Amino acid sequence: MTAVVRVDKLTKFYGRDRGVVDLDFEVGAGEVFGFLGPNGAGKTTTIRLMLDLIRPTRGRIELFGADPRRDVGVRGRVGYLPGDLRLYERLTAGELFTYFAHLRGLAGLGAAPQLAERLELALDRPIRTLSKGNRQKVGLVQAFMHRPDLLVLDEPTAGLDPLIQQIFYELVAEAKSEGATVFLSSHVLPEVQHVADRVALIRDGTLVLLAGVEALRARALARVAVTFATPPPAAAFADLSGVRELERHGHTVVFSLEGDADTLVKALARHRVIALDSHEADLEDIFISLYRGEETRDAA
Amino acid sequence: MLRNVFLKTLSETRRALVWWSLGLIGMAAMMISVYPTVRDNPDLNKMVEDYPDALKAFMAFGGDLDYVSGAGYLGSELFSFMVPLLLLVAAIGAGARATAGEEERGTLDLLLANPLSRRRLVVEKLGALAGEIALLAIVLWLSLLVGVEIVGMDVSAAHLAAATTSAALLALAFGALALLVGAASGRRGVATGVAAATAVAAYLVNSLAALVDFLEPVKQSSPFYHYVASDPLHEGLALEHVVFLVALALVAAGLAAVAFDRRDLAA
């Protein structure tokens, strides 16, 4: 599979402040790539580097095998939704789409009218009168309207109500089925989980994990919350293989479980258990456990 | 009007352009309507003759101060100060808004995600700036033409066009300077401030050069010198001065394109 996005030792400092450091990853054609991290981790920096709005301190970026700085044309194949969306307040949504259609060399309005209808967006109202959710719809329509080969979406579901979010996921799925590549950033992990093939976790400007969504889920299969009659000693479950104590509040201890449950169940049998709740781990848990791991390692 | 950045930028300013036009028309009408009184009072020239040299230097527009002839009156009352002032304010505002305005409002991220190079953006914004100034200059020229006709002043349409063109080129040069500072800094306030301060300094250098010896050799560096040097209301334009002002605008715009192309844009 050819890489649509190739990022090589990408580093960006703002003066002495860290943006991102030595990022390496590739996004293949037709892939939905989730780019996850907390606020301030460097997601928006990476995306603005990809669009040539800011320039790398070191390292390289290629979109479709070309340097986005030298080849302005590649941006015509990209649909971009900024994280901090600022629109032309005095234009109507329809006028904005007309303007961008011209700049992108589209014959008509592309898919904008159909997209606006699906998202229930009024085209004839000035953008300054629109609510946050409706502005976000304007951002989505302009990103998808020219049926780009690569979608770069920074926190795309912010401000959208759940029904519209559902339509957004459909749009991503449709774009993927038409062969488009999707680069999706988020700090809301379960959202990416629905649609992403692979996920990168970024923290403090560096990539901490790059894995398929399935592999990630296999990594921590379950999460078990156990409520005890009396809190067990701190080290009671420290040495169990495949079992990790995630958190503890009062009488309740939360474990992550890799592999089968037998070891944990045998260990629990020595205590009086009041309640036991188990569910499949989502990315949030993986994320948290990964961060915890980093912290304990840093502390050691 | 949304075909490209040039047309969109121009159409965005259409409301402001209407107000600017009304202001220019009003100013021309007011000044010209007073002229018959001046013409009937040749003694005014004598009075003006006794003015201190410093004042005369500020009042004259090229040539010697002559308050009673049509060309002299228009030069003193309009072209020596008010016309360049208004056109400069309009041009510096437009130049500062060009890229820095969009950068501060945050719309630049979305705009430049389109297949549009930064250099191209600067060129189109410069075009819109020039278009805006040209429209205002045409409005001013037409209203002067009508006024001169009604009152019967002895100024030709060609000489009015020359003076208006010279003022427009002067404004374009400072507008391009504002564009340059805005493109390099991303800050509209800085762009406005630097261009306005430079304009004031250039105006003073040229006006005071007649009185202060050490300014005499540097006055040719002032765009205001090239604005008035050919005495447009009597003699029309001179190629060298036109070239100087146009070159200044083009150099500033070229530097703006280079500076803008190298920068990290503010989020």
Summarised one tens digit per residue, pLDDT across range B33-50 is 999 998 888 788 788 778
Q: Specify the range with the lowest mean pLDDT, choosing from A213-217, B11-15, B226-230.
A: A213-217
Residues A103, B105: C-beta atoms closer than 8 Å = no
Q: Which residues of B touch A91 (CB under 8 A)?
A: 2
Alpha-carbon distance A91 to A108, whole Å? 18
Nearest to A102 among B3, B111, B113 (CB): B3
pLDDT 10s digits, A135-192: 999 999 999 999 999 999 999 988 888 899 999 999 999 999 999 999 999 987 777 8
Q: What is the pLDDT of residue A285?
A: 66
Q: How near does any CA of chain B get to the CA of A288, in Å?
A: 29
Q: How near does any CA of chain B get to the CA of A156, in Å?
A: 14
DSSP A178-229: TT-EEEEEES-HHHHHHH-SEEEEEETTEEEEEEEHHHHHHHT-EEEEEEES
pLDDT 10s digits, A20-56: 999 999 999 999 999 998 888 999 999 999 999 999 9
- The average pLDDT across B99-116 equals 96
- The average pLDDT across A238-243 equals 82
Residue B47 DSSP SS3: helix
**Which residue on chain B is closest to A92 by alpha carbon?**
B2
Sign for the CA dihedral angle at B163, B60, B172, A96 comes to: negative
Given a cut of 50, is residue B197 above it in pLDDT? yes
Q: Which residues of A touch B262 (CB under 8 A)?
A: 55
Mutation to test the B interface, candidates A55, A71, A72, most B Cβ within 10 Å = A72
Tokens of B127: 């075009």
Alpha-carbon distance B203 to B81, whole Å? 10
- Identity at A160, one-letter amino acid code: L
Alpha-carbon distance B177 to B196, whole Å? 10
- DSSP, res B218: G
pLDDT 10s digits, B81-99: 999 999 999 999 999 999 9
Residues A75, B107: C-beta atoms closer than 8 Å = no
Q: Specify the range with the lowest mean pLDDT, choosing from A226-230, B47-51, B67-71.
A: B47-51
Residue B30 DSSP SS3: helix
Q: How near does any CA of chain B get to the CA of A262, in Å?
A: 52
Terminal Cα distance for chain A, rounded: 41
Looking only at the bridges linking them, the beta strands covering A17-28 and A150-154 are unpaired
Residue A280 DSSP SS3: strand
**Which residue on chain B is closest to A99 by alpha carbon?**
B2
- If one counts every other C-beta atom within 10 angstroms of the C-beta of residue B15, the result is 10
Q: What is the pLDDT of residue B170?
A: 98
* Cβ pairs A/B, distance under 8 A: 72
Mutation to test the B interface, candidates A17, A44, A71, A86, most B Cβ within 10 Å = A86
Mutation to test the B interface, candidates A44, A50, A53, A71, most B Cβ within 10 Å = A53
Beta bridge partners of A34: A184, A199
Nearest to A86 among B5, B107, B113 (CB): B107
Given a cut of 50, is residue B165 above it in pLDDT? yes
Q: What is the pLDDT of residue B102?
A: 96
Nearest to B267 among A48, A73, A95 (CB): A48
Q: Which residues of A touch B108 (CB under 8 A)?
A: 53
Q: How near does any CA of chain B get to the CA of A255, in Å?
A: 41
| Cα A223 to the center of its chain, rounded Å | 22
Q: What is the ipTM of this complex?
A: 0.91
Residues B117, A104: C-beta atoms closer than 8 Å = no
Sign for the CA dihedral angle at B227, B233, B234, B235 comes to: positive
Position A300 confidence tier, pLDDT thresholds 50, 70, 90: very low
Q: Which residues of B touch A139 (CB under 8 A)?
A: 110
pLDDT 10s digits, B212-262: 888 888 889 999 999 999 999 999 999 999 999 999 999 999 999 999 999
Looking only at the bridges linking them, the beta strands covering A78-81 and A198-203 are unpaired
- DSSP, res B245: H
Q: Which residues of B touch A52 (CB under 8 A)?
A: 112
Nearest to B113 among A80, A95, A98 (CB): A80
- If one counts every other C-beta atom within 10 angstroms of the C-beta of residue B188, the result is 23
- If one counts every other C-beta atom within 10 angstroms of the C-beta of residue A29, the result is 15
Q: Is the Cβ–Cβ distance between B71 and B156 less than 8 Å?
A: no
Q: What is the pLDDT of residue A191?
A: 76
Residues B264, A95: C-beta atoms closer than 8 Å = no
Counting residues of chain B whose pLDDT is more than 70, the rounded percentage is 100
Residue B104 DSSP SS3: helix
- The average pLDDT across B51-61 equals 79
Q: What is the pLDDT of residue A261?
A: 79
Tokens of A24: 């390496």
Alpha-carbon distance B87 to B100, whole Å? 20
Calculate ∠ Cα B102-B103-B105, nearest 5°.
65
Between B124 and A231, residue with greater pLDDT: B124
Terminal Cα distance for chain B, rounded: 27
Residues B116, A103: C-beta atoms closer than 8 Å = yes
Q: What is the pLDDT of residue B215?
A: 85
Residues A78, B105: C-beta atoms closer than 8 Å = no
Going from the C-alpha of A138 to that of each of A44, A155, B153, B155, the distances in angstroms are 20, 14, 57, 55
Identify the contact set of chain A against chain B, taking CB-CB distances under 8 A. 14, 44, 48, 51-55, 72-76, 78, 80, 82, 84-88, 90-91, 95, 98-100, 102-105, 139, 142
Q: How near does any CA of chain A get to the CA of B107, in Å?
A: 5
Pick from B100, B250, B116, B63: nearest CA to B172: B250
Highest mean pLDDT among A70-79, A253-262, A287-296: A70-79
Q: What is the pLDDT of residue B42?
A: 78
Given a cut of 90, is residue B145 above it in pLDDT? yes
- The average pLDDT across A90-117 equals 96
- Identity at B86, one-letter amino acid code: L
Q: Which residues of A touch B104 (CB under 8 A)?
A: none
Pick from B67, B82, B61, B12: nearest CA to B35: B67
Residues 6+ away with beta carbon under 8 Å from B165? B137, B232, B237, B242
Which residue is associated with the tokens 């005495």?
B231
Mutation to test the A interface, candidates B1, B110, B260, most A Cβ within 10 Å = B110
pTM value > 0.90: no
Position A103 confidence tier, pLDDT thresholds 50, 70, 90: very high
Q: Which residues of B touch A97 (CB under 8 A)?
A: none
Given a cut of 70, is residue A1 above it in pLDDT? no
Q: Which residues of A touch B116 (CB under 8 A)?
A: 72, 75, 103
Write down the mean pLDDT value for chain A: 89
Q: What is the pLDDT of residue A147?
A: 97
Q: What is the pLDDT of residue A299?
A: 47
Position A220 confidence tier, pLDDT thresholds 50, 70, 90: low
Residues B116, A53: C-beta atoms closer than 8 Å = no
Q: Is the Cβ–Cβ distance between B116 and A72 less than 8 Å?
A: yes
